[in-house]
Amino acid sequence: MEGKFVFIGLAGLLGLYLIGTALFQPLRLLVRLAACMLLGGGLLLAINAVFGHLGLHIAINPVTLLTAGVLQLPGVALLVLVHYFII
């Protein structure tokens, strides 16, 4: 009888572990995306502050935040080039 309870307890712990890891992966991805968006926002604010008097203003929206955050400095350079050539 006690072996049955031990087996059920171990199966429950294994299930809890599997569910926990399955839920933790997407949460970790969302935290990394949020950190990238914050970094991108800081970079875009710095570019807008430094080059604002020259007429360079990059809009801050989710697409530009993710571009600047994920690609970092090359992403900001890409946004500046797109702004220069398209607008």
43-73 pLDDT, tens digit per residue, is 889 989 998 888 888 888 888 888 888 888 8
Q: What mean pLDDT, rounded, does the chain reach? A: 87
First to last CA, the chain: 76
**What residues does each domain of the chain span?**
2-86
Predicted TM-score of the model (pTM): 0.68
DSSP one-letter string for 51-72: HGGGT-----SHHHHHHHHHH-
